[in-house]
């Protein structure tokens, strides 16, 4: 089977999904909405930078083009005014589909895949809605597609409904989004599947990675952190509108008032002006380490080393980082929203807080740090829960069955 994946090619989630599709024996062509480095194993890749995605920083690696100084200045400006850019993208981004949509249609007509699969509604699914009639289209929802982005503007709402009406199958990482998808126009008779957005977790791979010695940035971090200092990790980076980074940073001084020995580690925040301002303003130097994007194995080892993982979301599905923290035995502290409650029972295998309350977040972090028995029991529950509901073998079997059903139906 030849599958066209429409996705952000920079994303680790996209890369893991493509690895899974290739592992099922399928051929893959990637149409990336962002400039990215080449991905191993695919037959071809094309970049269609819809909704001004060309302004984003390219993925690191030998295949990524170096940005000109002018492009770099633009990208720094976008990073500095992230919220303003997001609002503008809601209003102007849909207009770019008039240019890229027909080009996508021509490209897919030439490739003639068995299946097109868009790994997000905005703007990948909106682009993939130009898939020629007769070619089945699967669409994945990632977390906040319906709870945040669809309400960003009138055009975003209209295009979201168009995507869900065109889609032949819907894949989500939370059962909540199946219900919401039906409300937004996805037909009741069409198939839907709830699976992790990254295609499942390989627990054996995670265990093997956690047993390896730290290297690079990870090793340097551990040399700087005082021996025995408890670690709290926030793996989410900056996600404007979705994750309450402000609540997280406001909670840190409250934690340090009672536990001055705690160290906070923040992957994917190095060089981010918003995070740097928070550290400077709250005088958190030496207590908060802003790290670059980490290799997956390094992130897993930090989860294993940390006592608590913090993800204060107000719009989310099931973050892969949440499942990874659970698989590594790290106690999750997360926003109290419907999708997260599908995985976390408060006081049993994690702690949930109202996303806008720093004091509640601080209290939850302190409970996690000070109650070793809670962490031990939660780790047992979480490893079992991830194995049962997100194990890579089981997830890939479900994906294979859905893909085969879609292609079989289109051939009848």
234 with 313, same domain: the answer is yes
pLDDT of residue 412: 57
Q: Assess whether 118 and 216 both reside in one domain.
A: no
Report DSSP letters for 146-211, one per residue: TTTGGGS-HHHHHHHHHHHHH-SEEEESSHHHHHHHHHTT--TTS-EEE--TTS-B-HHHHHHHHT
Which pLDDT value is given to residue 65? 40
Same-domain pairing of 192 and 225 = no
How many structural domains compose the chain? 2
CB 173 within 8 A of CB 317: yes
Q: What angle do CA 382, 369, 343 make, to 5 degrees?
A: 25
- Yes or no: say if 126 and 31 are a contact pair by the CB < 8 Å rule: no
Question: Are 208 and 155 contained in the same domain?
Answer: no
Residues 235 and 383 grouped into a single domain: yes
- If asked whether residues 182 and 322 sit together in one domain, one would say no
Residues 246 and 324 in one domain: yes
Comparing 8-22, 53-67, 121-135, which segment has the lowest mean pLDDT? 53-67
The pLDDT of 256-285, averaged and rounded, is 97
Give the residue among 200, 180, 161, 144 at the shortest CA–CA distance from 324: 200
pLDDT digits (tens, 9 = 90+) for 372-405: 999 999 999 999 999 999 999 999 999 999 999 9
Angle (CA) 272-82-288 rounded to 5° is: 25
Q: Domain of 283?
A: 203-390
Mean model confidence pLDDT for the chain: 93
pTM of structure: 0.91
Provide the 8-state DSSP code for 46: E
| The two three-digit tokens of residue 281, written as one number | 């303003």
User: By the 8 A CB rule, do 47 and 10 touch?
Assistant: no
How far apart CA 141 and CA 170 sit, in angstroms, is 8
State the number of CA atoms in the 13 A half-sphere of 35 facing the CB.
Answer: 17
Burial 17-53 (b: 16+ CB within 10 A, else e): bbbbbbebebbbbbbbbbbbbebeebeebebbbbbbb
Contacts of 137 (CB under 8 A, 6+ apart): 115, 116, 117, 118, 128, 129, 131, 166, 167, 168, 169
pLDDT for 194: 97
- Per-residue pLDDT, 64: 39
Q: What is the pLDDT of residue 72?
A: 52
Q: Domain check: are 233 and 294 in the same one?
A: yes
pLDDT at 273 over 70: yes
pLDDT at position 79 = 56
User: Are residues 334 and 317 in contact, defined by beta-carbon separation less than 8 angstroms?
Assistant: no
My answer on whether 162 and 110 are in the same domain is: yes
CATH of the domain at 52: 3.40.50.2000
Strands 137-141 and 351-353, sheet pairing: unpaired
**What does the alpha-carbon distance between residue 111 and residue 103 come to, in Å, rounded to a whole number?**
12
Are 379 and 395 contained in the same domain? Answer: no
Q: Tell me the DSSP string of 249-291.
A: HHHHHHHHHH-TT-EEEETT-TT-HHHHHHHHHTT-TTTEEE-
Q: Which residue has the tokens 């295609």?
A: 199
Asked whether the predicted pLDDT for residue 53 surpasses 60, the reply is yes
* Whole-number Å distance between alpha carbons of 110 and 107: 5
Centre a 10 Å sphere on the Cβ of residue 292 and count the other Cβ atoms it contains.
12
DSSP string for 75-91: HHHHHHTHHHHHHHHHH
pLDDT value at residue 63:
38
* Residue 143 pLDDT class (50, 70, 90 cuts): confident
pLDDT tens digits, residue range 175-226? Answer: 999 999 999 999 999 999 999 999 999 999 999 999 999 999 999 999 999 9
Lowest mean pLDDT among 54-68, 156-170, 263-277, 364-378: 54-68
Are residues 395 and 383 part of one domain?
Answer: no
Q: What percent of the chain has pLDDT over 90?
A: 89
Which has more pLDDT, 60 or 149?
149
Say yes or no: 191 and 325 in one domain.
no
Task: Give the model's pLDDT for residue 77.
Answer: 52
pLDDT above 90 (res 150):
yes
**Residue length, the chain?**
412
* DSSP one-letter code for 50: G
Residue 62 has pLDDT above 50, yes or no: no
């Amino acid at each position: 089977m030849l599958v066209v994946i429409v996705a952000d090619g920079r994303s680790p989630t996209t890369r893991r999904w493509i690895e899974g599709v290739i592992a099922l024996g399928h051929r893959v062509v990637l149409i990336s909405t962002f400039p990215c480095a080449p991905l191993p194993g695919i037959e071809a890749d094309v970049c269609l930078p819809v909704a001004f995605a060309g302004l984003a920083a390219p993925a690191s690696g030998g295949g990524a083009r170096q940005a000109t100084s002018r492009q770099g200045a633009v990208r720094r400006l976008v990073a500095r005014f992230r919220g303003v850019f997001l609002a503008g993208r809601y209003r102007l981004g849909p207009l770019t589909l008039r240019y890229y949509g027909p080009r996508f249609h021509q490209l897919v007509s030439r490739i003639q895949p068995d299946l097109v699969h868009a790994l997000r509604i905005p703007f990948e699914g909106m682009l993939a809605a130009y898939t020629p009639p007769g070619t089945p289209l699967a669409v994945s929802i990632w977390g906040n597609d319906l709870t945040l982005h669809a309400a960003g503007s009138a055009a975003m709402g209209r295009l979201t409904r168009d995507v869900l009406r065109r889609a032949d199958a819907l894949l989500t990482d939370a059962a909540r989004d199946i219900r919401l998808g039906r409300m937004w126009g996805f037909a009741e008779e069409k198939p839907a599947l709830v699976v992790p957005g990254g295609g499942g977790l390989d627990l054996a791979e995670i265990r093997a990675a956690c047993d390896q010695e730290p290297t690079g940035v990870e090793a340097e971090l551990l040399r700087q952190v005082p021996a025995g200092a408890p670690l709290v990790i926030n793996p989410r980076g900056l996600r404007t509108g979705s994750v309450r980074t402000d609540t997280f940073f406001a909670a840190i001084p409250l934690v340090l008032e009672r536990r001055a020995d705690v160290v906070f580690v923040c992957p994917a925040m190095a060089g981010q002006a918003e995070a740097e301002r928070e550290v400077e303003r709250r005088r958190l130097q030496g207590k908060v380490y802003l790290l670059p994007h980490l290799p997956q194995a390094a992130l897993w080892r930090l989860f294993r080393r940390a006592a608590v993982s913090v993800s204060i979301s107000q719009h989310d599905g099931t973050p892969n980082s949440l499942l990874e923290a659970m698989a590594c035995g790290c106690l999750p502290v997360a926003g109290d929203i419907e999708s997260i409650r599908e995985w976390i029972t408060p006081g049993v295998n994690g702690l949930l807080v109202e996303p806008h309350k720093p004091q509640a977040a601080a209290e939850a972090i302190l409970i996690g740090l000070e109650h070793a028995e809670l962490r031990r029991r939660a780790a047992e529950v979480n490893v079992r829960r991830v194995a049962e509901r997100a194990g890579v073998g089981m997830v890939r079997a479900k994906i294979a069955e859905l893909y085969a059903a879609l292609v079989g139906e289109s051939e009848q």
